[in-house]
Amino acid sequence: MNNIWLLALGGNLPSAIGGPEVTLKSACASLRQFNLKLCKVSRFYETPCFPPGAGPDYINAAAMVETPLDAHDMLAVLHEVEAEFGRERDQRWGMRTLDIDLIGGQDLVLPDPETHRKWTSLPPQEQVRATPDQLILPHPRLQDRAFVLVPLNDIAPDWVHPATGRSVSEMLAALPESDRKAVIPL
């Protein structure tokens, strides 16, 4: 049985093949090497660097893939693709050539609902310092990030977050208008 996974892609530094837009397009093509069926890709967006002042602005997109891989194997593939494009993991939320986050899929909550709640309710000052030692799905910051939700709304507006019961379009509408307007289509 195949799984459908939602991905968020971004980058704000050039890779060996070019700027962030070229890198994201190439990374999407590279996913096919791992027996992943690329079902949909959003438009590309320019987004303010997060956190503010941490470097150049980003190019962001979202993708939907189909694969027999489970969540942990999928994450391993995403890390391999990131490394292929020069991703270095030296600073949390720092500048990068490529970032591919596994956002969610199906109605899966990992590792369990209680742990997921803990990570989604983490105070902002702790989010910078704390890094989970296990895969948390759906992504614990998903509902807070216009740079993820705007592209995701292009490809999966009706996907429902299994822990909150809210669709992508509902989560996006709940964000401040200023956050949504800061995500600009290329």
Share of the chain above pLDDT 90, in %: 76
- Which pair of structure tokens corresponds to residue 101? 């986050």
**Separation of alpha carbons 167 and 70, rounded Å:** 23
C-alpha closest to that of 11 among 101, 103, 97, 93: 97
pLDDT single digits (tens) 106-156: 899 999 999 999 999 988 778 667 778 899 999 999 999 999 999 999 999
pLDDT single digits (tens) 92-103: 455 778 999 999
Distances in Å between the Cα of 5 and the Cα atoms of 79, 89, 91, 120, 171 are 15, 23, 26, 20, 18
42's CB contacts (< 8 A; 6+ apart) are: 61, 62, 63, 151, 152, 154, 155
Q: What is the pTM (predicted TM-score) of this model?
A: 0.93
Q: Which CATH class is domain 3-185?
A: alpha beta
CB 78 within 8 A of CB 7: yes
Distance of CA 138 to the CA centre of its chain: 10
